[in-house]
């Protein structure tokens, strides 16, 4: 993980919500449990309610069918979205996406990521993306 990103996580300890290949989903739990865990642990939200929140969030991205799947059964896109929703469950989340093209290597540009972020924009306070300079062209006008 990049030093800048580590510093960001340290300075925004409570709100920092990373999406990174180095912070994987818990593989022996279903996707909805990975997402609900944040609400259950930090807000003591009852299991049923947390399940509802998690499944609703997945449905917003059109991924309601992956709620009961586990990490190894997901495609790269599904895995990214599950990690993104998990991160957005943090209260007043400052979502930090660490090298998104490492999570979905075959993406040509960031459109897919931005579309996903747009669909759940009310879940988080802000979003930051960290990536290598040499993939700047994939971000198009954003990096000019």
Partner 1 sequence: MTILENIGRLTITLMKSFAETISFAGKVLYRIFQPSTYNSATRTVLVNQIYFTSVQILPLFITASVIFGSLLIGIVFQLLKDLGLTQFIGNVLMGLIVTELSPFFTVLLITLRSGSAINAEMAVMKVNKEIKTLETFHIDVINYLLVPRIINGIISLVLLSTLFSIVLMSSGILFSRIIFGMNIDVYSNILLNSANFSDIVIALVKCACFGFFITLIPIHFGLRASHELTSIPIVVSRGMVSVFTAILIIEVLSLITKLI
Query: 44 to 73, contacts with partner 1 by CB under 8 A?
Result: 44-47, 50
7-15, 53-61, 62-70, 126-134 -> range binding partner 1 (CB under 8 A): 7-15
Least distance from C-beta 34 to partner 1, angstroms?
A: 9
The answer to whether 25 contacts partner 1 (rule: CB under 8 A) is: yes
Full DSSP string of the chain: --HHHHHHHHHTTTTEEEE-TTSPPPTTSBHHHHHHHHHHHHH---HHHHHHHHHHHHHHTT-GGGTT-BGGGS-HHHHHHHHHHHHHTSTTEEEEEE-HHHHSTT-SSSHHHHHHHHHTGGGEEEEEEE--GGGGGGGGGGG-
Residue 129 CB, nearest approach to partner 1 (Å): 17
Q: Which residues bind partner 1 (CB under 8 A)?
A: 9, 13-14, 17-18, 22-28, 33, 37-38, 40-42, 44-47, 50, 86, 90
């Amino acid at each position: 993980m990049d030093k800048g990103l580590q510093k960001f996580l340290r300075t925004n300890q409570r709100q920092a919500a990373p999406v990174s290949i180095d912070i994987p989903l818990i593989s022996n739990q279903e996707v909805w449990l990975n997402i609900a865990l944040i609400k259950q642990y930090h807000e003591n939200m009852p299991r049923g309610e947390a399940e509802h929140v998690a499944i609703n969030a997945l449905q917003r991205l059109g991924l309601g069918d992956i709620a009961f799947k586990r990490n190894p059964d997901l495609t790269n896109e599904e895995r990214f979205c599950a990690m993104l929703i998990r991160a957005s469950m943090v209260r007043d989340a400052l979502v930090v996406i660490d090298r998104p093209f490492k999570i979905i290597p075959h993406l040509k540009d960031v459109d897919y990521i931005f579309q996903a972020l747009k669909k759940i924009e009310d879940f988080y306070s802000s979003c930051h993306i960290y990536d290598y300079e040499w993939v700047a062209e994939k971000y198009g006008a954003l990096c000019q």
